Structure 1
Amino acid sequence: MSTVLPPLPAKRYFTIGEVAQLCGVKPHVLRYWEQEFTQLRPMKRRGNRRYYQHHEVLMIRRIRELLYEQGFTISGARNRLHELGLAARSARPDGVAEALPPIEPDFSALQLADGPPLEFDVDPASLRRELEEIRAILF
């Protein structure tokens, strides 16, 4: 029985409370999973507050599905995630990440329906780094 989770909002960072609601688990479970799954490394800021990025929230949802819906153990889920990562890397041709064009985010085409273009208060260099990190995870 699959639980319907709410859609992820278009945000850059999520607090542990937000992630807990979006993924249907308690915050203490997320802190435990950080110890068990090396893929989960939320950024920590002042006061050791955790901030999760979009790809980490998706990984948490995948872990939740493996544990709660497919019945994997923690070590089984860890192994399955490792296998999926290896399979994804081996399925691509060699050098595909190097062959991808450089990331140049362009926000000019984004706008709300029947509204003015959106304006973003984003540092282009940090956005580029984040996109390159996501690309490295995917490829």
Structure 2
Amino acid sequence: MKIVVFDLEQIVLLGTAGFATFLFVAWWQVGVFWASDTPQTWLLALALVAAFIIVVATPLQLLCRFSSARLLPYFIGVASGPIGVLFALLLFSRYPVGFEWYVSRVLFFHIVFSLIGLLFSVAFQRWAGPNNSFKPNPLRGSA
């Protein structure tokens, strides 16, 4: 239950951050505007980040718990962005996934989801804490 609450917090926080990034890039290219469908776009961003966190980022971070490497969860967090984009293209794109469709057309999504994956891995590692599985036997008779 704790991981569900943690995931919901991260979905709202990181989804809003991803939406703000998208909005600022759009404002930079076109100029400041507020469209009538901006709240729906925010909900779509939350849905995309929710799918990414539930399907890709959380299982990869849980798998990293089995390793003792300290930088592996952060590397996997950055790599989970392109993995999530690849899954989305394979599931929802009707075009063959090649260099043009995987890198050049969705480069912005690679960058945004890599940052979201990194921020999620940092938050997950802080939330989960270290894996201190070493439990020494207590000394008998020492008071």
TM-score by length of 2: 0.29
Structure with the largest fraction of strand: 1
Structure with the largest fraction of helix: 2
Q: Which has the higher contact order (CA 8 A, sep 6+)?
A: 2
TM-score by length of 1: 0.30
Q: Which structure has the larger Rg?
A: 2
